[in-house]
Amino acid sequence: MSLKLKPAIFLLSLIGVGLIVLSAFSDCNGWLQSFAPTACFSDKNANVLFVRRLNRSIKPFLSAKTKLSEDDFNWWKRIQIEHRDFAFYKNTVSKLFEIFPPVPDLGKACSERCRTCAVVGNSVNLKGSRYGRLIDYQDVIIRMNFAPTKGFEEDVGTKTTYRVMYPESASDLDNSTHLVLFPFKIQDLDWLMKAFTTGFSGRSYAPLKSKINANKDLVKVINPAFMKYSHMVWLEGKGTYPSTGFMTLILALHICDEIHVFGYGADSDGNWSHYFEALENKNLKTGPHPGQHEYEIIKQLADEKTVELHQGS
């Protein structure tokens, strides 16, 4: 590179940094949007895990138009031993979109600029971390299951844009939070419809809420093909199937430009408990999920700077 070019490049990068800082203060509809940098991941080295494994042709959310292949259905139905067949699945999904918006709005209103996300897991390493303000500062805040914010605001923040859940981990949401359902069996889709309408009376391996308070227009359902891809591509088929936390991180790779990860993994003593409950069982591991392997993938994504991993206390 010629020596004359260097100052120009330096100046350009200064302007770039300036714009990033400015855009952080503008909202989605702000005038700065048109000046802001595009995708934060654009200059990635082709060798990194993110580039090697991310497949944008796999759509994270089901829509009325999603065509699940029979192969994908067969992968999905074995994770929680679904006995009903593919035709029954398809019939259930078609009813789903009579109740919920048929083509979910990805909400990518500000795709012109870098969309920053906080993915907030439930690890005890959040306790005493004082990450609350940093979490709330991101554009999109993704939380999991029934993890509370009340009483833990200093460490976990207050805002929730997306809350991922499955029926056994469901909680009521406020009107502006998106409910993102991870379905593990056909009953989960049925639960979703009934929890918003007549009430659900079936059973599962854990108690289920019969009704849920949440905004019906903000419901999104994860595509079973996306769950399979998280397992087969991102975890190379290890374990029985990925944890909700891991799949949520892969979801973030698809819908966010810049990702801050909080509350994943064990604490510095190696405890894998939740920030909101006392550790009862030291052997609490990660069930059918390959927890350690999942965490290694997340660390690798952090090492290559695809995500920023905030490891807490």
Ligand X SMILES: *[C@@H]1O[C@H](CO)[C@@H](O)[C@H](O)[C@H]1NC(C)=O
Name the binding residues: 80, 122, 145, 205, 241, 245, 265, 274, 289
Question: Are 118 and 157 in contact, with CB atoms under 8 Å apart?
Answer: yes
Residue window 61-100: x/- pattern of binding to ligand X, with contact defined by CB under 6 A: ----------------------------------------
Nearer to ligand X, 98 or 269 (CB): 269
**Interacting residue with ligand X among 49, 58, 99, 255 (CB under 6 A):** 58
Nearer to ligand X, 16 or 105 (CB): 105
Query: CA 189, CA 221: separation in Å to the nearest integer?
Result: 9
Which of 52-60, 114-122, 163-171, 244-252 is the region at the interface with ligand X (rule: CB under 6 A)?
A: 52-60
Rule CB under 6 A: is residue 47 a binding residue for ligand X?
A: no
Shortest reach from residue 155's CB to ligand X, in Å: 13
Helix residue spans in 82-146 (DSSP H): 86-99, 132-136
**Interacting residue with ligand X among 66, 204, 215, 300 (CB under 6 A):** 215
Binding-site residues for substrate, in ranges, read 80, 122, 145, 205, 241, 245, 265, 274, 289
Ranges of beta strands (E only) in 15-82 are: none
Query: CA 201, CA 194: separation in Å to the nearest integer?
Result: 9
Which of 13-21, 183-191, 200-208, 266-274 is the region at the interface with ligand X (rule: CB under 6 A)?
A: 266-274
Host H or E run for residue 49: helix 49-53
Host H or E run for residue 298: helix 291-303
**Interacting residue with ligand X among 117, 124, 173, 235 (CB under 6 A):** 124
Q: Is the dihedral of CA 26, 22, 310, 289 positive or negative?
A: positive
Crossing angle for the helix pair 86-99 and 70-77, to the nearest 10 degrees: 90
Both tokens of 36, joined, read: 């802001």
**Interacting residue with ligand X among 12, 22, 109, 279 (CB under 6 A):** 279
Nearer to ligand X, 66 or 204 (CB): 66
Query: CA 48, CA 284: separation in Å to the nearest integer?
Result: 32
Which of 1-9, 41-49, 54-62, 286-294 is the region at the interface with ligand X (rule: CB under 6 A)?
A: 54-62
In the sheet with 178-181, reading across from the earlier edge strand, the strands are 219-221, 178-181, 162-165, 140-144, 116-120, 258-262, 307-310
Rule CB under 6 A: is residue 253 a binding residue for ligand X?
A: no
Question: Are 140 and 161 in contact, with CB atoms under 8 Å apart?
Answer: yes
Interface with ligand X (CB under 6 A), residue total 11
Nearer to ligand X, 214 or 221 (CB): 214
Residue number of the CB atom closest to ligand X: 279
Rule CB under 6 A: is residue 28 a binding residue for ligand X?
A: no
Closest-CA residue to 187 (of 81, 30, 59): 81
Q: Which residue(s) pair with 307 in the sheet?
A: 259
Rule CB under 6 A: is residue 269 a binding residue for ligand X?
A: yes
Give residue 294's identity as a one-letter amino acid code.
Answer: E
Q: Which residues are catalytic?
A: 241, 289
Residues that bind ligand X (CB under 6 A): 55, 57-58, 124, 175, 215, 217, 269, 271, 273, 279
